[in-house]
Structure 1
Amino acid sequence: MIRVKICGITSQEDAWVAVEAGADALGFILVKGTPRYIEPEAAAVIAAQMPPFVATVGVFIDRTPEEIDQIVSASGLSLVQLHGNESPAECRRLRVPFVKAIRVQGERDLEALRLYPQARAFLLDTYVADRPGGTGRTFPWEIATKAASEARVILSGGLTPDNVALAVAQVRPYAVDVSSGVEIAPGRKDHRKVREFIEQARKADTR
C-alpha cells in the first residue's frame, strides 16, 4: 500500500487530522529561517502524542551528524530526511535511519541513488535554485518512474489532491510526500485537502 507523509507539521491539531485521515508519517521542518520551521522542543511534544506506528520525520539541511543525532535523541523523532549537501561519509556517521532527498533537474541526478546505500529511501523533489525544498512545483515524473525501478522512492514536488492519483498511477512510488499542496498558509494545513490527498493517493494505489 502506498505510504503518505504530510510534511511541514507545526501544530498538534494538524498532526492529529493527518493521522486520523490515514497518514503514515509526519514531517517536521527543523531548518531555521524557513516558513514551516518548528522548534525541536515543540516537535517533541507533538511526536510524543502520536500513535506508535506513525513515523515522525525531522527534516534537516547541512547539519553535522552529531547535531542531528542530538536533536533526534531529544525530540524522539523516528528518522531524518536530509535535504542538503550531506556527503555519503557524513550520512554513514548517523546513528538514526535517514532518507536522502534529491533535487531533480534531469536523469543524471539519479546517480545519487548509488552513493547512499544506507538510505532507507530517496525523496525526489523539484530542483529550484536557492530552494532546498517545498517548491510546490512538479518535475517530469518519467524520471521518478525510472528511479522507482531502482530504489525505494518517495515522490514529492508539487503534489496536490488534484494530481496525486495520476502521480501514483504513473510512478508507483513507495510513498508520496506533500506540504504546500495541502495548506492554507505555510505551516497551516487545510484539513479538507489533507483528507482528500490521502484518499486520492490510496484510491489510485488500488487500481
Structure 2
Amino acid sequence: MGLLKHTPGKTRIKFCGFTRSIDVDAAVRLGVDALGFVFYEPSPRYVSPEVAATLVGRMPGGMDAVALVVNPTDEQVLRIKDRMPVSLWQFHGDESPERCTEIADGSPWIKAARMQPGFRLEDFSLQYSQAAGFLLDAFVEGYGGGGHVFDWSLIPELWAKENAHRVVLSGGLNTHNVGEGISHLQPCAVDISSGIEIAKGQKSPELMQAFIQAVRDADASILPI
C-alpha cells in the first residue's frame, strides 16, 4: 500500500479521476504512488468497472489502485471487485464505519472528511478508527470537494501531529498551494484531481509533472539541515 507508507520527508502522491489510458500511462511514467478511479455515476470523471479494469491493467505493481465510491450498493461493490484489483477503498459518502469495513472486506480503506466550520475531526476519527487513513477534503453540496480549498486552520494542530502518518490532504490543491499545505501539515500524502486537468477527466502531463515537482520542493524545504 504505497499511498499510506509514511516516510518522513517524502510526501506520497495520489492522482485521482482517471478516464483515459493516455493519462494513466503518463502518471505511471512519472512514478506517483496511487491512481484513483471514480465509481460515482453523477461525477464527470465516472468510469465503469470494466473501463477501470483496463486502466488498472496498465499500472505497475506497487502503485495503488484506489476505488472511490459514494454510498455504493452491494451490486456495485461486487461489480467492482469482480473486475479489478482494488488496493485501497476510498469512501466519500455517508457510509458508516461498519459499512466501510464490510465493503473493504479486509482491504485497507480511507474515509473522506468534509471539512467545514463546526466539523469535529477528533470525533470523526474516533468514529472511523478502523480507517487506514483520512482524506481531508472541502465541504461542498453533493459529494467530493469540487476543486475547492478549505481552511486548513480547521484541522486541530495536535490532531494533525498525532495523525500525520495517515492524513491525505485534498481539496483544491495545485502547484501553487500544495507546498504551503505540506509545510503546514506535513501529511502522509496529497491528493489532486482537477488541479492537473485541462478538462474534466482529461489530465495534463505538464501539470502532473509540475505538481510532483512542487511536492518535492516542499519536501526538501522542511528537511532538517
TM-score, normalization by structure 2: 0.86
Aligned pairs for 1:63-74 (under 5 A) are 63-64=72-73, 67-74=76-83
Deviates more, 1:153-162 or 1:60-69: 60-69
Q: Structure 2: which amino acid aligns with 1:128?
A: V
Q: Which residue of 2 aligns with 1:141?
A: 152
C-alpha distance after superposition, 1:145-203 (max 9, x if no partner) = 63432321100001011111111111111100000011101000111111100111122
SS in 2 for 1:6: strand
Residue 129 (str. 1) matches residue 141 (str. 2): yes
Hey, what's the Cα distance between the residues in 1 that align with 2:176 and 2:31? 18
Q: Which residue of 2 aligns with 1:156?
A: 170
C-alpha distance after superposition, 1:112-139 (max 9, x if no partner) = 1111122110001000122x11411111
Distance of aligned partners of 1:39 and 1:66 in 2 relative to their CA distance in 1, 3 Å threshold: closer
Q: Structure 2: which amino acid aligns with 1:171?
A: L
Q: Is the 8 A contact 1:145 1:170 kept in 2?
A: no
Quick one: which of 113, 124, 130 aligns to 1:112? 124
Distance of aligned partners of 1:15 and 1:189 in 2 relative to their CA distance in 1, 3 Å threshold: same
Q: Structure 2: which amino acid aligns with 1:38?
A: V
Measured after TM superposition, the shift of residue 69 of structure 1 is: 4.9
Q: Which residue of 2 aligns with 1:202?
A: 216
Q: Which runs of 5+ in 1 are unaligned?
A: none
Q: Structure 1: which amino acid aligns with 2:45?
A: R
Pairwise CA RMSD? 1.6
SS in 1 for 2:26: helix
Q: Is the 8 A contact 1:102 1:109 kept in 2?
A: no
Quick one: which of 56, 72, 79 aligns to 2:65? 56
Q: Is the 8 A contact 1:22 1:198 kept in 2?
A: no
Q: Which runs of 5+ in 2 are unaligned?
A: 1-9
Distance of aligned partners of 1:67 and 1:150 in 2 relative to their CA distance in 1, 3 Å threshold: farther
Hey, what's the Cα distance between the residues in 1 that align with 2:22 and 2:52? 13
C-alpha distance after superposition, 1:50-76 (max 9, x if no partner) = 110100101000014674254134211
TM-score, normalization by structure 1: 0.93
Residue 90 (str. 1) matches residue 99 (str. 2): yes
Measured after TM superposition, the shift of residue 28 of structure 1 is: 0.4
The count of residues paired between Structure 1 and Structure 2 equals 206
Deviates more, 1:88-97 or 1:39-48: 88-97
